[in-house]
Structure 1
Amino acid sequence: MSQKKLVLIVGGGFAGRRAERLLRDEFDVTLVDAKGFFEYTPSALRCMVEPNYAERCVIPQPQRVVIAAVESINLENEQIDESRAKGVAHLNNGTTLAFDYCLLCLGSSYVAPIKPDPMNASTASDRVEAYQRECERIQEAEDIVIVGGGTVGVELAAEIVGKWPKKKNVTLINSQGRLLSRMPEAAGRYAQQWLETRGCDMILQDRVMDWGNETAGNARRIVTKNGRVITAALLYSCIGFEHCSAPLAKLFPSAVSERGAVIVNDQLQVKGMPGVFAVGDCTNTGEEKNALNADLQASLAAENIRRLARGAALQTFPSGVCHGAWEPPSIACVSLYKWHGTMQFNGLVINGRLPTVVKHMIENLQAAPDQHPEWRRSVWRC
C-alpha cells in the first residue's frame, strides 16, 4: 500500500498537467478532468477556420487521467493537521476521491465554440466536430461581426480575413480607441493596419447596445451606442471569460468572489483552506490570464505542496518562481493568420513574421509534452 500522501489535481489543462508532472514522483497524484482531451487553446481560433489543424491541438488525455467532473469538494469537519487539507471530492460518476492536498486548476469558460466550459464532459472527437461545424458556418456567412478588440477578437478577425481575404464583410467593434489595449500601442497599431489592409472594417470607441435576435436563416440587426446599424449573419462576442469555480462554490461560497473567481492568497492557497491551492484562470489574481502564467502558478503551487508536506515556509507568487520579481514577465503573442503577428516581451514589441515562428515553437513544445522526447520537455521546463 502506498505511503505517499494523496494529491488531487482538478483540471487537465496547462496548469493541471504541469503540476501533475512536477508532483507525481513524490506524491500519489490523481488528475481529474471532465474532458477526455487536452486542448492547446492558443490555436483554437485557427481550428475554427481550418478544422484539420485540431488534430495537433486536441489531444486525448493519458490513460492515467480520471475522466469525470468534480461536482463538489468537502473537507473533514475538524482539520487537526493544518499541514494538509484531508478531504474528499465527489465526482459526477458517483465515486469519491480522498486527498491530503488539492490543487484546483478549474480554468475558465468563453463563448462556445471558442472555448467550451472545461467542467462539462466531452471528448476529443466532440471538439473536432464542433470546429468542423463552426467552419461550415463561417464559410456560409457573408457578414460577420466580432465584438471585442483584445487578443481573442483580433486573432479571430485575422483568421477569417486571412483565410478568405476580401471575400467576407468582417466588422470588428471595440469600445476603446485602439486594439490590443493590454499590450503596447505599437502592437495595436500593427494589428489594426494588418486587418484594415485585408478588408476588415473597424468601429472603435463604440459599443453594442442591441445585440439583435438570432433566428434561423435570418441575419441579426446589431445597433451600437453611436447609432451604427450592422447586419450580421454571424456574431462573435469576444469581450471576456468567466471563471470556473462551481466545485468549490457549492460548499465554500466564502472562498469565491462576487465575479465567480476562487479567492487565493499570495501563496496560492484558497481562502480559509490551507491545504487547498488554486491556480490559473479560475483565480482572482491580477496577472494576465494566459498559458504562461498558469504554468508559472502551477510550478509555485506544486513547490508549496512539497513545502507544506515537510513543514517548510511557503513561497509567494510571483517572486517564488520569477527570481524574486514582484510581477511575472509581461509576454504576449498575437497571431495575424499564418505568417504575421505581434509579440510583446515587457516593453519590447516585435511585429512581422518572427512572432509566428515563436508561437509555432511554443506550440510544438507545449501541445503534447507526454509525447515529446525528454530533451523537448527539458527545454520547456527551462
Structure 2
Amino acid sequence: MTKVIVVGGGYGGIVVARALDDVADVTVIEPKEMFFHHVAQLRAVADPAWQEKIFFSYDGLLSRGRVIRDTAAEVRPGVVELASGTRLDADYVVLATGSTGPFPTRLDHPERDAVAGRLRELHDSLDRASGVLLLGAGAIGVEFAGEIAAAWPGKPVTVVDPSAEMFGGRFPDEMRADVARQLDELGVRVLLDTKLDTAPDTPAGAVRPFTVTTGAGEVIAADLWFACYGGTVSSGYLGAELATARRPDGRLTVTEHLRVTGQERVFAVGDLNDTPEIKTGRAASRQAEVAAANIRALIEGGPLTPYEPFPDGIIVTVGPAGGAGYAPEFGFFDAEAAAGFKGTFLLDHYRGLLGA
C-alpha cells in the first residue's frame, strides 16, 4: 500500500493519520507517551480535577496504521530517519510538528507522569503565591488570568502588556471591551501600553518575592510570574531539500494545497507552515483535513482541494463561567455562549478522534 508518514501526533497530525488510515499504510512519529490536550492545560492547572481528563492514549487512533514513539532526526522527501537510528521510507510525508512556547504555555515533556506532576506543581505554586504577574495580554494571558482569579478569589493578579490594546488590537472593540470588563469583575488588573524596566529577577514559576518597575515608574510587587507570549517552531530536523522552504522564523512556505514549496509529496500542516492566519487547533485540524484529502486524491486520482485560511476569529475563556469571542460568520460571542462552547474544551471530540 501507499506509505504515509506523519511526523507529529498533535492536533494536525492525528487528523491526517486517521483520515488516511483506510487508504494508506500510515505511520505516526511522536515522542510523547500520550496525546496531551494542551489547549485545556490552564484549566487543569487551576482545577486539579481536570488533570486526569486531558491525556489520551494513541492506541485507538489507527485501526491499521501504527504510532511509533520516537523523534524525527532528519526528514527528506520520501525518507524519515529517526533518533533511534531507524530509517523509514514513505510515498508521502506530512510534517505536523507544531510549536513550543515558554513555560507554562507548553509543557513539552514526553512522559505523561512528568507533565501531570508539573501541572500539580503549578497548582501548588499558585496556591502558595500572594500575588501573580502575567506578561502578555493575548489569549494565553487572558485565559490564565481568568483561571487564576476564578480559582483563587481575591488573589492579586496583574497582567502587563506593551500593546495599547488587548490581543494586540485584533478583533472588534465589543469583544475586547467585554473581556476587559469580566477580568475587572474578577479583580484582575490589566495594564496596557505598559513596559517593564527590567524583567523579574526570579525564575518564571518560582514562588519568590520580587518587584518590577513600569516605564511610568509604578512598582509592582508579586511573588510568582509567567511569560504568556511568544512561540517557536522546530524545523531543525529538515534535510537540505526541505530546508530551502524554511523562512527566517522557522516556518515552511506551502502552496495552496499545503504542499511544502517545491515538493510534490511533502505536506506541512498547523503551526509549522506559513498560512496567513491565527495558529489555532481549529486551523490545524482543518489544514489536516485538506492535506489528507489531497493525498487521497493523489493516491486514488481526482482534483486537489485548495486550503482557505480562516479569517481572524477567537473564543477565549475568562474562568469556567466567563469568556467572549468573535468569528466573522457568527459575530460576537458573549460570556454564556463562549463558556458554553469552550467550557468542555471539546474533550469528547478529541476522545472520539483518538478512540479513547
**Which residues of 2 match residues 11-50 of structure 1 at below 5 A?**
11-50=8-47
Which residue of structure 2 lines up, in the alignment, with residue 69 of structure 1?
A: 71
335, 353, 363: which one aligns with 2:317: 335
Question: Can you list the C-alpha shifts for 1:241-279, whole angstroms capped at 9, x where unaligned?
Answer: 112222226764322110111221211111222210001
Q: 1:7 aligns with which of 4, 7, 18?
A: 4
Gaps of 5+ in 1: 76-86, 319-326, 374-382
Could you say which residue in structure 1 is the equivalent of 2:188? Answer: 200
After superposition, give the CA deviation of every residue in 1:280-299 in whole Å (9 maximum; x if it has no partner): 01111111111111111001
Map 1:168-247 onto structure 2 (within 5 A): 168-180=155-167, 181-214=169-202, 218-247=208-237
RMSD over aligned CA atoms reads 2.1
Which residue of 2 is the match for residue 306 of structure 1?
296
- Contact residue 162 and residue 192 of structure 2 kept, 8 A: yes
Question: What number of residue pairs does the alignment pair up?
Answer: 347
* Distance in 1, Cα, partners of 2:186 & 2:242: 50
* TM-score, normalization by structure 2: 0.90
Give matches, 1:244-283, under 5 Å: 244-248=234-238, 252-283=242-273
* Residues 281, 249 of structure 1: alpha-carbon distance in 2 compared, 3 angstrom cutoff: farther
Contact 2:43–2:50 (CA<8 Å) still a contact in 1? Answer: yes
Structure 2 counterpart of 1:152: 140
**Cα separation, partners in 2 of 1:291 and 1:370, compared to 1, 3 Å:** closer
Q: 2:82 aligns with which of 91, 96, 117?
A: 91
Q: What is the CA-CA distance between 1:137 and the residue it aligns to?
A: 1.1
Select which of 98, 101, 105 maps to 1:110: 101
* Percentage of pairs with the same residue: 27
Structure 1 residue matching 2:35: 3-state secondary structure: strand
2:120 alignment partner, one of 128, 132, 136: 132
Q: Which residue of 1 aligns with 2:63?
A: none
Q: Is the 8 A contact 2:320 2:343 kept in 1?
A: no
Q: Does the CA contact (< 8 Å) of 1:178 and 1:189 recur in 2?
A: no
Name the counterpart of 1:293: 283
Query: Which residue is 1:366 aligned to?
Result: 349
Q: Which moved more, 1:285-294 or 1:241-250?
A: 241-250
Structure 1 position 72, deviation (Å): 1.1
Partners of 1:155 and 1:336 within 8 A in 2: yes
Give the superposition deviation at 1:217.
6.3
Q: Which runs of no fewer than 5 residues in structure 2 stay unpaired?
A: 61-65
Give distance in 2, aligned partners of 1:311 and 1:106: 28
The question of whether the paired residues in 2 share the 8 Å contact of 1:18 and 1:295 is answered with: yes
Distance 1:224 1:70 in 2: 43
Structure 1: how far apart are the matches of 2:198 and 2:271? 29
Give the number of the structure whose residues are more often strand, by fraction: 1
User: In structure 2, the residue corresponding to 1:368 is in which secondary structure?
Assistant: helix
Check whether the contact 2:57–2:354 (CA below 8 A) recurs between aligned residues.
no
Distance 1:345 1:370 in 2: 24
Name 1:141's counterpart in structure 2: 129
- Once residues 249 and 140 of structure 1 are traced to their aligned partners in structure 2, the CA distance between those partners, rounded to angstroms, is 47
TM-score normalised to structure 1 length: 0.85
Q: What's the CA shift for 1:18?
A: 0.7
The secondary structure found in structure 1 opposite 2:220 is strand
How far did residue 51 of structure 1 move?
2.8
